[in-house]
Amino acid sequence: MESILGNQVMFIIFSAMIVMFSILTVTSRRILRAATFLLFVLLATAGLYFMLNYQFLAAVQITLYAGGIVVLIIFSILLTSHIDHKFDKVPAQKLIMGVIAAGGGIAISLMTLLSYNFTPSNQQPIDVDMKTIGKSLLSYGDNGYVLPFEVISVLLLAAMIAAIVIAKRKKV
């Protein structure tokens, strides 16, 4: 029972962080602060993955989202915006509509979650090491990911070539 208590405490801390910083991200009127709060949301999510003993996904979350995408966002903010810049206050009508939309989203998710009958899984935890991940990434049998892997590679390659074409200086 005691370890369950520990898990619950950690879960409450992480989920409180996620909720709090998500709200701060959308309500902050300074753009870089919003990006920083987003970083905390992503890190707390990685914490949840660590709690589930799924370290690989947690590390991917940190590298890709916290270390990659947030850095990219911050970098573009650094290039384009000034420290004195603040967003205007949102007009009341938009604010009300936004709150209603968010509330609707919360209501639908909560209804689905609460009505679904979760059954505890009694499967043995699998030790997800590098070999397992590598093999399932490139296998075409059951639980294989070779098709999405290849499709995404082609997509990324196309995006990279496109970026180079755009960035390339035109010959005068």
Partner 1 sequence: MEFNIYDFTSFTKWIDESLNAAMSPFWVMITEMAIIGVAILAFYALVGLFLVYAERKVCAFMQNRVGPNRVGPFGIFQTIADLLKLLMKELVYIKNADKLLFNIAPFIVITASFLAIAAIPFAKGLHAIDFNIGIFYVVAVSSLGVIGILLAGWSSNSKYSLIGAMRSGAQIVSYELSVGLSLITMVILSGSMQLSTIVEAQANGWFIFTGHIPAIIAFVIYMIAATAETNRGPFDLAEAESELTAGFHTEYSGIRFAFFFLAEYMNMFIVASIAATIFWGGWMPFHVPGWEGFNTVMDYIPPFIWYIGKTAVIIFIMMLFKWTFPRLRIDQLLTLEWKYLLPINLFNVVLMAFIVLMGWHW
Q: Which is nearer to partner 1, 87 or 103 (CB)?
A: 87
Query: Could you tell me how far CA 162 lies from the centroid of its own chain?
Result: 25
Largest distance between two CA atoms of the chain: 73
Taking the C-alpha atoms of residue 157 and residue 151, their distance in angstroms, rounded to an integer, is 10
Q: Report how many residues bind partner 1 under the rule CB under 8 A.
A: 33
Taking the C-alpha atoms of residue 26 and residue 16, their distance in angstroms, rounded to an integer, is 16
Site string for partner 1, 68-107 (x = CB under 8 A): x-xx--xx-xxx---xx-----------------------
Q: What angle do CA 38, 39, 45 make, to 5 degrees?
A: 90
- DSSP-H helix ranges across the chain: 2-27, 31-51, 55-60, 70-80, 92-115, 130-137, 146-167
Query: Could you tell me how far CA 41 lies from the centroid of its own chain?
Result: 8
Site string for partner 1, 127-156 (x = CB under 8 A): xxxxx-------------------------
**One of 14, 18, 34, 39 touching partner 1 (CB under 8 A):** 39
| Smallest separation, CB 8 to partner 1 (Å) | 10
Does residue 25 touch partner 1 according to CB under 8 A?
no
What residues between 44 and 63 interact with partner 1 by CB under 8 A?
55-56, 59-60, 62-63
Applying CB under 8 A, the residues found at the interface with partner 1 are 2-3, 5-6, 30, 32-33, 36, 39, 43, 55-56, 59-60, 62-63, 66-68, 70-71, 74-75, 77-79, 83-84, 127-131
